[in-house]
Amino acid sequence: GAGVSQSPSNKVTEKGKDVELRCDPISGHTALYWYRQSLGQGLEFLIYFQGNSAPDKSGLPSDRFSAERTGGSVSTLTIQRTQQEDSAVYLCASQRRWGSPLHFGNGTRLTVT
Amino acid sequence: AQTVTQSQPEMSVQEAETVTLSCTYDTSESDYYLFWYKQPPSRQMILVIRQEAYKQQNATENRFSVNFQKAAKSFSLKISDSQLGDAAMYFCAYRSSTYNQGGKLIFGQGTELSVKP
pLDDT value of position B4: 96
pLDDT value of position B80: 98
pLDDT value of position B23: 98
Question: How many domains are contained in chain B?
Answer: 1
- Beta-carbon neighbour count of residue A100 at 10 Å? 13
Percent of chain B with pLDDT over 70: 97
Q: Kindly tell me if the per-residue pLDDT of A82 is higher than 80.
A: yes
The shortest CB-CB distance from A42 to any of B99, B100, B109 is to: B109
Q: Which residues of chain A have a CB within 8 Å of the CB of B104?
A: 33, 45, 48, 56
- What are B26-79's pLDDT values in tens digits? 999 989 999 999 999 888 899 999 999 998 899 999 999 999 999 999 999 999
What structural domains does chain A harbor? 5-112 (2.60.40.10)
B30 has a chain A CB within 8 A of its CB: no
In Å, what is the CA distance from B80 to each residue of B9, B53, B60, B61, B107?
Answer: 20, 23, 11, 11, 23
pLDDT value of position A43: 92
In Å, what is the CA distance from B82 to each residue of A31, A99, B37, B115?
Answer: 34, 30, 16, 7
Is residue B99 within 8 A of residue B30, CB to CB? The reply is: no
User: What's the CA gap between B109 and B9, in Å, rounded?
Assistant: 8
Indicate which CATH number applies to the domain containing B102.
2.60.40.10
Q: Which residues form the domain of B109?
A: 3-116
